[in-house]
Amino acid sequence: MIGVFDSGHGGLTVLDALVASFPRERFVYLGDHAAAPYGTRPGPEVLELTRAAVDVLFRRGCRLVVLACNTASAIALRGIQQEWLPATWPDNRVLGVLVPMVEAITGTPWHAVRPDWHVVPARTVGVFATLGTVASGSYPVEVAKRAPEIRVVQQACPTLAGLIEAGADRATLTAAVAVAARGLLDQMDGRAPDAVLLGCTHYPLVADLFADALPLGTEVLSQPERVAMALRAYLWRHPQYAARTGVPGAPLLLTTGDPAAVTGAATRLLRRPVEFHAWDKDLRR
Ligand code: DGL
């Protein structure tokens, strides 16, 4: 069983891509709706909440958890991998959504030592994300380490994930996305980015609005797709973390919030029936 974690139900965009990519794998998804949004929380809180959620997924029997949340990946993943896991769950693993995107932007594997001949064409990539992800600086810092020719311009969208999660109407979302796109273009003196990353799990749900608000020809990188590709490569190298039960089944969706309310909101958002269940509170330490 593979765990997938997000602050809310935006991470279902990533889960959908994983389920499509691994039809014989069992997934359990946990949305921390009771504590969302993460994007405006101080870093230590994001770390604590993420660690507690991952712990719950491990206690349910997952050996591998994907943080399908950019904010958690940017702020909490390093501490979890370097300190908490070795001390608490040394045989388990946690992956995030940031690494696959940095690899996609730079065309360079995360751990590769950059050879001199590897010249990355100079280009500008826009990153739309939460305040927390932008403040962490993770995307520009990690891209600069691997491909300094690439300019990363970040644009925080402090309210967008909340609006999407709350099921705001299309006109409200169109206006919010237009403000974000304008903010990015203003930072670039009106020049078009070569590509943009929708660096928050919720934004793929309004990818069409981003495409409409950005200059024609701007590539919109698909995070769910890239994360699925990266997980495929990871499980090929580390097959012990694939459950491979051979028994396909719908993913189990859990929430720390009110299951009925989350079920309604997620169903409206994804435009298909989605059923959330109460998480096992008792599993939280
Ligand atoms: N899921 C979070 C992310 O991908 C955004 C939502 C939140 O602020 O909780 O960054």
Q: 25 CB less than 6 Å from ligand 1?
A: no
Please give the Cα distance from 221 to 187 (Å, whole number): 20
**Catalytic, out of 94, 176, 200, 213:** 200
pTM score, whole prediction:
0.92
Q: Catalytic one among 56, 67, 68, 69?
A: 69
Asked whether residue 216 falls in the same domain as residue 278, the answer is no
Polymer length in residues for the chain:
285
- Check whether residue 185 and residue 265 sit in a common domain: no
Structurally, how many domains does the chain consist of?
2
Spacing, Cα 156 to ligand 1 middle (Å): 12
Cβ-based neighbour number of residue 36 at 10 Å: 23
Q: How far apart are CA 229 and CA 239, in angstroms?
A: 15
Supply the DSSP symbol for 106.
H
Q: How many CB atoms lie within 10 A of CB 216?
A: 7
Q: Quick one: 187 and 208 in the same domain?
A: yes
Domain termination site, one of 170, 195, 222: 222
Atom of ligand 1 nearest to the CA of 71: 10
Q: Strand order of the sheet with strand 150-156? A: 150-156, 123-129, 195-198, 219-221
Residues 121 and 167 in one domain: yes
Residue 63 shares a structural domain with residue 165: no
Instruction: Characterize 251-281 residue by residue with b for buried, 16 or more Cβ atoms within 10 angstroms of its Cβ, and e for exposed.
Output: bebbbbbebeebbebbbebeeeebebeebee
Residues 63, 24 share a domain: yes
What is the helix (H) or strand (E) element at residue 144, kind and residue range?
Answer: helix 138-146
Distance in Å, CA 40 to ligand 1 centroid: 9
What is the 270 CA–ligand 1 centroid distance (Å)? 17
**Token output for 280:** 């096992």
Does residue 218 share a domain with residue 117?
Answer: yes
CA of 113 to the centre of ligand 1 (A): 31
37-53 as b/e, with b when 16 or more CB fall inside 10 Å?
bbbbbeeeebbebbbeb
Task: Give the pLDDT of residue 143.
Answer: 94
Assess whether 61 and 154 both reside in one domain.
no
pLDDT at position 116 is 57
Residue ending a domain, among 182, 201, 222, is 222
Examine the residue annotation and report whether 157 is marked as an active-site residue of this protein.
Answer: no
For ligand 1, say whether the CB of 108 is within 6 Å of any of its atoms. no
Are 208 and 166 in contact by the 8 Å Cβ rule? The answer is no
- Domain end position, chosen among 199, 222, 245: 222
- Regarding whether 117 and 231 lie in a shared domain, the answer is no
Considering the domain architecture, whether residues 108 and 207 belong to the same structural domain is answered as yes
Are residues 211 and 275 both part of a single domain? no
User: Is the beta carbon of 161 within 6 A of some atom in ligand 1?
Assistant: yes
pLDDT of residue 242: 84
Q: List CB contacts of 64: < 8 A, sequence separation 6 or more.
A: 2, 3, 92, 93, 94, 95, 241, 242
Q: Whose CA is nearest to atom 8 of ligand 1?
A: 39
Residue corresponding to tokens 């999407």: 164
Respond yes or no: is residue 62 known to be catalytic: no
Domain that holds residue 228: 2-97+224-283
- Clarify whether residues 149 and 185 are in a common domain: yes
| pLDDT tens sequence for the chain (285 residues) | 999 999 999 999 999 999 999 988 999 999 999 999 999 999 999 999 999 999 999 999 999 999 999 999 999 999 999 999 999 999 999 999 999 999 999 988 887 766 555 666 779 999 999 999 999 999 999 999 989 999 999 999 999 999 988 889 999 999 999 999 999 999 998 789 999 999 999 999 999 999 999 999 999 998 999 999 999 999 999 999 987 666 667 899 999 999 999 999 999 888 899 999 999 877 666
Q: Which two tokens stand for residue 188?
A: 């670039």
Question: Could you tell me which of 200, 156, 166 has the C-alpha nearest to residue 67?
Answer: 200
Whether residue 36 has its Cβ less than 6 Å from ligand 1: yes
Using the structure block, give the residue that is written with the tokens 């809180």. 45
**Does 201 contact ligand 1 (Cβ within 6 A)?**
yes
CATH number at residue 214: 3.40.50.1860
Residue 201 Cα to ligand 1 middle (Å): 6
Measured in degrees and rounded to the nearest 5, phi and psi for residue 28 equal: -125, 130
pLDDT score of 188: 92
